[in-house]
Amino acid sequence: METQTNEHVIKPADRMTVLPTQFFAKLVGKANAQAAKGRDVINLGQGNPDQPTPPHIVARMQEASANPMYHRYPPFSGYSFLKEAVAARYKEDYGVDVDPATEVAILFGGKTGLVEISQCLLNPGDVCLVPDPGYPDYWSGVALSGAEMSFMPLTADNRFLPDYSVIDEEALKRAKLMFINYPNNPTGAIADSDFYEETVQFARRTGVVVASDFAYGAIGFDGKKPVSFLQTPGAKEVGVEFYTLSKTYNMAGWRVGFAIGNAKVVSLINLIQDHYYCSLFGGIQEAAALALTGPQDCVTELTARYESRREAVFGALDRIGWKADRPGGSFFCWLPVPEGYTSESFADLVLEQADVVVAPGNGFGTHGEGYVRLGLLTSEERLIEAIERIGKLGIF
Ligand SMILES: Cc1ncc(COP(=O)(O)O)c(C=O)c1O
C-alpha cells in the first residue's frame, strides 16, 4: 500500500523575513571556531558585563523568592515599589522629578522596550531616525513595525553626535521617532546638556518622539557624570529615556529595565506589555528596588574599575603605536583600524593571528566602517595581553 506523506509546511509570517540578520551571531561563531581549535581566545567583542551582581542584591533575591506573595501573578505593569525606587534614583542622581504611577514603565530589560517603542509609535511608511553606527536592536523594532529607517551619521568630526541640520527633508516629514544613545555604544562618546537642549528643540520643531537610550548612564569617566536627557527642560514633553540595571549593577541576566518620562509613551508601552507579559517575577522586582535604593558604592567602584581598565588598554595601545581617542563613558573603546584594512578584514586578522576577538564596526552601521569595538570586560592583565598580541603582528 502506498503511504502518503503529507509534508506539513510551516510558513513564517512576512514579518519574520524583515528582521535584520544578527551580525553578532556570526562573530560568536568565528570566535567559537577558533576556541574549538584549542586556542586561548581573548573575547573582547561582546558587551556582557564580567562582574557578578553585588551580594546584597543577590541576598535580597534569595529571601524574596520565598515570599508566597511573589508566587502569584504580579500586577500587570509591575509593583509600585519598584517604580517608586526608579523615581527616587532619578531624583537623587539627576534632580529629575517623575511620577512613578504614570511616568515609569517596567521592562524585561532595556532591549525589550527599545523594540516595543517602535511598535507603539510607528506605522508602515513612517520613518525612524537611527544613529549610525548604533545599537542594532533599534533596527529590529523598526523592521517589525514596517517603518523605514533614516540614518544619522555619527562621526569623529562631530564628537559622534548626530547633526540635525543635515537630516534629509523628505525623511524628516515622515519621521515619528528617533533614537539617541549616550554614553554611546559603540563609540564610547558622551553628550552634554547643550546637545540634549538642541535635541528637545529639534523634537519640538519636527514632532519626532525622542527615545534616549541611557543604558550606560552610570558609566562616565574623568570625573564626568553622564547627563540624563530628562534633565533638559521640556524633555518629558517630547520623549522617554530607557534605563537598565544590566550595566549599572551587573544585572544583565536579571532582565530589568525601565522607560521613564512622557506619560503617553509610558502608557503605550504598558499597554503593549499587557498583551505580551504579566510583569517580572516579584522577587526580582524587590531585589531591583533594593539595587536602586540601597548603597551605591558598588556603582562608583564599578565605574572606577572600567576607568582603570581603560587606562590599562590605552597604555598598551600607546606602547604598540595604535593611536585612538579614549572613550568618555560606556565600557567600549572605538578604535580606528590601520590603513589597508576594513573593519572586518582587521577583526578577522586579529582573531586568526592573535586569538583576540573584537567587534568589526561595520556591524553597527555603514559609518562604523573603519573601526573596531573593544569591550573593557575582562581583567587588566588579559586586556593588556590582547593588545600586546596585536602589537606582535607588527602592523602599527
Ligand atoms: C546601547 C544599549 N542599549 C540597550 C541595551 C540593552 O540592555 P538590556 O536589555 O540588558 O537592558 C544594551 C545592551 O547591550 C546596549 O548596549
Q: Is the CB of 111 under 6 A from ligand 1?
A: yes
Angle at 358 between CA 190 and CA 16, to 5 degrees: 85
Whether residue 91 contacts residue 97, with contact meaning beta carbons closer than 8 Å, is answered with yes
Q: Is the CB of 187 under 6 A from ligand 1?
A: no
Ligand 1 centroid to residue 212 C-alpha, Å: 12
As beta bridge partners, residue 210 has 178, 239
Residue by residue, pLDDT tens for the chain (396 residues) are: 556 667 899 999 998 998 888 778 888 898 999 999 999 999 999 899 999 999 999 999 999 999 999 999 999 999 999 999 999 999 999 999 999 999 999 999 999 999 999 999 999 999 999 999 999 999 999 999 999 999 999 999 999 999 999 999 999 999 999 999 999 999 999 999 999 999 999 999 999 999 999 999 999 999 999 999 999 999 999 999 999 999 999 999 999 999 999 999 999 999 999 999 999 999 999 999 999 999 999 999 999 999 999 999 999 999 999 999 999 999 999 999 999 999 999 999 999 999 999 999 999 999 999 999 999 999 999 999 999 999 999 999
Q: Which domains does the chain have, with CATH numbers?
A: 14-52+298-391 (3.90.1150.10), 72-293 (3.40.640.10)
Q: Is the CB of 176 under 6 A from ligand 1?
A: no
User: Which residue from 56, 30, 58 is spatially nearest to 43, judged by alpha carbons?
Assistant: 30
Ligand 1 centroid to residue 110 C-alpha, Å: 6
Ligand 1 centroid to residue 159 C-alpha, Å: 21
Cα dist from 243 to 90, 121, 136, whole Å: 10, 19, 17
Q: What's the half-sphere exposure (Cβ side, CA atoms, 13 Å) at 46?
A: 16
Whether residue 238 contacts residue 210, with contact meaning beta carbons closer than 8 Å, is answered with yes
